Amino acid sequence: MLHKNLEELRDKALDAVRNARDAMTLENIRVGFLGKKGELTAILKQMGSLSPEERPSIGAFANDVRAAVEGALEKASGTIAEKELIKRLADETVDVTLPGKPFHTGRRHPMQTVLDDVVKIFLGMGFTVAEGPEIETTYYCFDALNTGPDHPARDPQDTFYFDDETILRTQTSSVQIRVMEQAKPPIRIISPGKTYRKDEIDATHSAHFHQIECLAVDKGLTMGDLKGALQTMMEGLYGPDVKLRFRPHHFPYTEPSAEVDLQCFACRGEGCRMCKFEGWIEMLGSGMVHPAVLDRCGIDASVYSGFAFGVGIERLTLMRYKINDLRLLYENDMRFLKQF
């Protein structure tokens, strides 16, 4: 009886293996027939009812059945694995003749490009980069820079106040004061950074903008050194044919002071719509550091002199790329930015 049951189990298992189409089905067959709770185990538990003479032959036949099923499972497993590999290779085949998908790499913002170029120019002249806090005190932004309590720049309509003594800095000139308080001449620094003023946002103004200040303090510095530094910067940004014009002006923290204009690229000084028919475009403010500012920072104005200027990175960028609207720099329009 057990011999017949073993034959039926063998035939049933081999038939199931032949019809299996995947590895999961084969595993279920193995567990169902050969596992601890499988059909073969259940039949072998009945051997206790056999006579001593029958047990050896039935035991040997049971081993033959197990070997036959295991062999069939192993062979089928190899065949199915090979078929699955062939199918996967076919499904995952890459047609190397197809055109590749374009990969768009990032690029620097035009303002960052201009700022990097300005920094490189001044590093080449022996300057270093200095930074300071964007949330400043009125002392560093105004008092130390000779800007008295009644100056229009300190009006709440122009400046963002946290309280009477704490503001969002309106210029990076505050960094100059911090450096002069801590360092001894000779001093040569540039200080790029974000600044804030209560301006209405339009084509030429923003409440948030970027500025870079330049400061040099040493013995014997003159307006000629200031002009040379500015000429070097402008030629590095706009080419060797650039022309500058210095106009007398007044800033509380410099004496003498000058506004610096750039000859219009479009009309070469003849006058056009770009320069409002003046031939020149106002770029920045500059001058020799006021002796009172030096003395307040602990630098002897009778021994040392210095020059300084500040310019908006946005303005330099607009001029370099002939952009006519400041807002384009902040709108993150890829149609605009990918041109640079």
pLDDT in tens, 201-242: 888 788 899 999 999 999 999 999 999 999 999 999 999 999
Q: Does residue 2 register a pLDDT over 70?
A: no
Average pLDDT over residues 274-278: 80
Give the rounded percent of residues in the chain with a pLDDT score beyond 70.
Answer: 93
Least confidently predicted of 47-51, 135-139, 207-211, 314-318: 47-51
In this prediction the pTM is 0.69
- Residue of higher predicted confidence among 169 and 56: 169
Average pLDDT over residues 28-38: 74
Q: What pLDDT does 12 receive? A: 78
Q: What pLDDT does 126 receive? A: 96
Q: What pLDDT does 220 receive? A: 96
* Sequence-ordered alpha helix ranges (H) in 164-290: 173-182, 223-238
Q: Does residue 4 register a pLDDT over 80?
A: no
Whether the CA torsion 214, 216, 217, 220 is positive or negative: it is negative
Average pLDDT over residues 9-28: 79
Average pLDDT over residues 188-208: 90
Q: Which residues of 35-73 are buried (b: 16+ CB within 10 A; e: fewer)?
A: eeebbbeebbeeeeeeeeeeeeebeeebeebbeebeebb
Q: What pLDDT does 232 receive? A: 96
Q: Does residue 54 register a pLDDT over 80?
A: no
Q: Do 302 and 320 contact (CB within 8 A), yes or no? A: no
